[in-house]
Amino acid sequence: MTQIDNAPQCGGFGDYGGRFVSELLMPALTELADAHREILFSEPFLAEFQAELAEWAGRPTPLTRVPHFSTEARLDVVLKREDLLHGGAHKTNNVVGQALLARRMGKTRLIAETGAGQHGVATAMAGARYGFETVIYMGARDAERQAVNVQRMELCGARVERVESGSATLKDAINEALRDWAESLGDTHYLLGTVCGPDPFPSLVRDLQAVIGCESRAQFAEMYGGRLPDAIAACVGGGSNAIGLFTGFLDQESVKIFGVEPAGGGTHTNRHGATLGKGTPGLLHGARTYVLQDDDGQIKHSHSVAAGLDYPGVGPQHASLRDSGRVQYVAVDDTASIEAFRSLSRTEGIVPAFETAHAIAFAAQAVERGWLPEGASLLINMSGRGDKDLDMYFRDHA
C-alpha cells in the first residue's frame, strides 16, 4: 500500500490530516470549516480578535534576551514570552479566537480537553469572559499532577470532568471530549487546544497561533538590525505553540527550525512521547498523522514529565514538515528538561513550564549535540510559565 493511497481528501497536509471521524461529527466539522473560511478572515472578526488579544490577553508579548543562560549554552538565545500572556501560556491566543468564532456561530457551551491544564484554564477564562457554559475534560492522572490548574478552572466557573479511562491523560481526555461533542454539537463548540484533530482544527488553530511567529519575526528584526535568527525552536506536544512560531519563518530557508519532543525516560524505552521520532503513520483523533502504536494499530501510552507533551499523536502539519525535512524534530528527556527548568530559573529569573523546559533543554544541549554551531542566534518559544509545576518540582525533583 503506497502512501498516496492514504492521502486524505479533507484539509490534508500532503499525506497527513483529513477528517477521520464518525459521520455523526461531520455536520459539526462542516459547520466549523465554513465558519473558519467565511468568518475568521473577515474585517469585523479580525478587529474584534485583535482587540481582545490586546486588551484582555496582553498582546504583543515581548522578546527577551537571556545573556546568562546564553553564556552557559554558548548560543545567543532570545525568548518569545508567551508565558506572559494572560493565563500563563500561548493557549490563550487560540482560545480567544475560537471562543469568538463560537459566539458568532451561535454556540452557548464550550468543551475542551486539557493535558497540562493550560488550555483548560484559558478555555475556562474565556468561558467566563464571553458567557459560555464550560466543561473541561482532563485525564485523572493529569488533574492530579496539575492540581493548581484544576483549581483555576473551577474558580473561573468551569466544570472539570476527570477521565479515568486508558492512560488517564491527554489522549483519553480528547476521546471523552469527542464523545461529548457527538451528542452536544447543536449548542456546543469543541474548543480543541492544539493543531491536532480532524480538519479544520489543524489549520484553524495554526491560523490563530500564527500571531506568535508573525510578531517574533518583526521583533527579532527590530532587535537585531533587520536580521533573522539562525534558528528557532519550540516544544511539540500536539504542536500548536511550535506551528504558531514556525509559521512566521517557514518561508525563510536560512532559518533552521527545530521541534522538540519529549524523550521522557528515553526514546529507547517505552516511556516517551516522541511521536515524530519514533512513531509511524496512523489514524488518531480524526487525522492521519504520526502515532505511537503497536504493529496492529493499538495506540500506545506515552510518557513525559510534562503533561502537555504526554500524547501519542501530533498535529498532521508536523508530520508533513517532518517528512519534507523542513523541520528537524529532536527529543530531550525528563531529566534534561528538569535541569533546564532549574537553570533558566536560576540564571534569568524566568520559570518555564515543564513543557517549555524541553525547548530550553534543547538550547542547553544544542552545541554539544551538534544541532547548532557555537554562537548561533536561537529564538525559542517560551510557551508557558512554570507556576503549575512547582508542586511537582518540589515534591519529586528538587
Contact residues: ligand PLP, CB under 6 A:
89, 115-116, 118-119, 194, 235-242, 308-309, 353, 355-356, 383-384
Report the Cα 197 to chain-centroid distance in Å: 12
- Say which entry of ligand PLP, another protein, none residue 241 contacts (CB below 5 to 8 A, set by partner kind): ligand PLP
Confirm whether 368 is a catalytic residue: no
Rounded to whole angstroms, the Cα distance separating 98 from 122 reads 11
Q: Where is 335: in which H helix or E strand?
A: helix 334-348
- CA distance linking residue 261 with residue 333, whole number of Å: 9
Stretch that binds another protein, among 46-54, 167-175, 208-216, 379-387 (CB under 8 A): 167-175
The interface with another protein within residues 125-154 (CB under 8 A) comprises: none
Q: Is 107 a catalytic residue?
A: no
Give the three-state DSSP class for 183. Answer: helix
**Among another protein, ligand PLP, none, what binds residue 298 when CB lies within 5 to 8 Å by partner kind?**
another protein
Inter-residue contact 17 to 290 (CB < 8 Å): no
Contact 268, 278 (CB under 8 A): no
Q: Where are the beta strands (DSSP E) in 255-364?
A: 256-264, 280-284, 286-291, 327-333
Tell me which stretch binds another protein (CB under 8 A): 5-13, 62-70, 127-135, 219-227.
Answer: 5-13
Torsion of CA 1, 324, 297, 263, to 10 degrees: 160
- Binding to another protein by CB under 8 A, coded x per residue (else -) over 174-203, reads -x--xx--xx-xx-----------------
Residue with smaller CB distance to ligand PLP, 63 or 376:
63
Cβ 247 to ligand PLP, closest distance in Å?
13
- Closer by beta carbon to another protein, 36 or else 385: 36
Euclidean distance between CA atoms 58 and 295, whole angstroms? 46
Among candidate residues 70, 203, 216, 383, the one labeled active-site is 383
User: Residue 22 interacts with another protein (CB under 8 A)?
Assistant: yes
Provide, rounded to whole angstroms, the least separation between the CB of residue 395 and another protein.
Answer: 30
Q: How many CB atoms neighbour CB 22 within 10 A?
A: 10
Considering the complex, what minimum distance in angstroms separates the CB of residue 194 from ligand PLP?
Answer: 3
The C-alpha cell that represents 66 in the structure block? 537571556
Is 43 an interacting residue with respect to another protein (CB under 8 A)? no
Nearest 5°: phi and psi at 375?
85, -5
Closer by beta carbon to ligand PLP, 317 or else 356: 356
* DSSP symbols for 217-280: HHHHHHHTTTPPPSEEEEE-SSSHHHHHHHTTTTT-TTSEEEEEEEEET-TTSS----HHHH-E
Beta carbons within 8 Å of 291's beta carbon, 6+ residues apart: 275, 279, 280, 281, 282, 283, 284, 299, 312, 313
Least separation in angstroms between residue 83's CB and ligand PLP is 7
Identified binder of another protein from the candidate list 59, 80, 152, 171, rule CB under 8 A: 171
Please identify, using beta-carbon distances, which residue of 134 and 169 lies nearer to ligand PLP. 169
Minimum Å gap between C-beta 34 and ligand PLP is: 24
Interface residue list for another protein (CB under 8 A): 1, 5-6, 8-10, 18-24, 26-28, 165-166, 171-172, 175, 178-179, 182-183, 185-186, 281-286, 288, 291, 293, 295-299
Q: Which residues are catalytic?
A: 91, 113, 383
